[in-house]
Chain A
Amino acid sequence: MAPPMNQTVVSRGFRSRRQEQQTLRDRVPSGQYVTTEFPILSAGPTPQIKVENWTLALQLGNSLIGRWTWAEFEALPQTTMKTDIHCVTKWSKLDTTWQGVTFDDLLKAVGGPRTSAPYIMAHCDGGYTTNVPVADLVCGRGMIATRYAGLPILPSHGGPARLLVPHLYFWKSAKWVRRLRCMEKDERGFWESLGYHNYGDPWKEQRYEGD
């Protein structure tokens, strides 16, 4: 006596305890639920990185276009971004504040766009990767963030620095980012090569490949 395939059983009296106000509906993509917590999801153990040893590289092919130590990175123009974030596991968190260096400012620091390569692969400590079109990083759409809510990002949340691309599902905001590699052709990163959507637009509910 299993429930029919297209019908699930509603459990009497069960409701989401996550807050949802009518006025926020246009900020919450379909299928998402607002949370005031900040859940952590990691594909592996948390790397413990000392900022003295940290560097960020911008790469094209085998050539290094730019490289920054922590001190050099902190000396770049800093931008604060207040934004909503959406995780593919269905939680959304509104009005999160981040500080870091925008991708635009990173490009300016190396003398402007040095390539027309349209894609970036982010490489991270611990081996995680994710691919993002350059068009989704420029014009203020993406940054390398070093602070959350005014404080240095905790290691469990991706510190010392993580990619932030909030208009895409949050798996694209790669934790522990160390290298941005420009690519002529798109390649799939960690989750994208395992059934998740290659682009990941929460407003089109692009969670999985085939959506």
Chain B
Amino acid sequence: MIETAAVPAGRLHWQLAEVREIVVETPRAKSIKLEVPDWQGHLAGQHLDVRLTAEDGYQVQRTYSIASAPEDELLTLTVEQVPNGEVSPYLVCDLRAGDRFELRGPVGGYFVWTAVMGGPLCLIAGGSGVVPLMSMLRHRDRRKNRTATLLLYSSRSLEDIIYRQELDAMAHRDSKLCVVNTLTRKRSEDWTGRWGRIDKALLAELCFPPEQHPKTFVCGPTPFVESVSGFLVELGHNALAIKTERFGPTGDRHD
């Protein structure tokens, strides 16, 4: 259990992780629950590096955000498959319970939210950018924290919304948490929610106003993050108070 806001940042080393369970989140995304015996704990929003080694010695490394709360028993990553990706197809399609790989972390104290930091909390996600923000929401939930919170989450289609049921359930039992989904690509008859990309008008309508000094976290593909932060600054938010995590062009850190 993490009682304080500080996780000691010692020298990193590669640790062994074993897959305990795999959960299907969407047709393209799965959550991988890991047992990591040497794990020292993490803060919500941090990420870690995964290293895969093939039989012939070929090695590749990718970075993934931690999806689980610090309070959760198993360390969880959520991976969305990138077409022609090198690593994500293996993690999403081939990985089984009992498989092992190496990981290193937790990394990054910049893009972190802990309950003691307070709010209001403004979380804006594009696609798989929701993963580190989900860690924050789960931490908030486990702590029974009632900081006023907004999650504004942009996805391509209804079936691409990761954690949809869990987010609906969280919002349903907590009047201080507001979850707004917007879809950008595929129209569906049973969707009564919002359409279209997140624009300045939507942010003006939904976000906590600058005077309330919200803690803002924006995560997703680089163009998404640049666009959203640009709008927030135009709406009067302090650029230095907006924390961003860019996932690169495709929405996944490399592939």
Contact = CB atoms under 8 A, between A and B. Distances in A.
Interface of A: 1-3, 8-18, 33
A18 B53 CA distance: 14
Contacts of B53: 8-11, 14
B14 to A, nearest CB: 7
Given A12-B99, A16-B60, 15 more contacts: A3-B14, A3-B102, A9-B102, A10-B55, A11-B52, A11-B53, A11-B54, A11-B99, A12-B96, A12-B100, A13-B90, A14-B53, A14-B90, A15-B55, A18-B86
A11 B32 CA distance: 15
B4 interface: no
B38 A1 contact: yes
8 contacts: A2-B13, A2-B14, A8-B14, A8-B53, A13-B94, A14-B54, A14-B90, A16-B58
Contacts of A33: 58
A1 B16 contact: yes
Given A1-B37, A3-B16, A14-B53, A8 B59 contact: yes
B58 A8 contact: no
A2 B37 CA distance: 9
A16 B59 CA distance: 8
B232 to A, nearest CB: 22
Nearest to A35: B86
B102 A8 contact: yes
A14 B13 contact: no
B243 interface: no
A15 B182 CA distance: 37
A33 B56 CA distance: 12
Contact of A2 (B16, B54, B60, B100): B16
A1 B51 CA distance: 16
B214 to A, nearest CB: 30
B54 A10 contact: yes
Interface in B6-56: 13-16, 37-38, 51-56
Contacts of A2: 13-16, 38
Contacts of B191: none
B32 to A, nearest CB: 12
B86 A11 contact: no
Interface string B101-113: 1100000000000
A17 B86 contact: yes
Closest 9 CB pairs of A and B: A16-B58, A11-B101, A14-B52, A11-B52, A8-B53, A15-B54, A1-B37, A14-B54, A10-B53
A86 to B, nearest CB: 16
Interface centre among A2, A11, A12, A15, by most chain B C-beta atoms within 10 angstroms, is: A11
Interface centre among A2, A9, A14, by most chain B C-beta atoms within 10 angstroms, is: A14
A50 to B, nearest CB: 25
B163 to A, nearest CB: 26
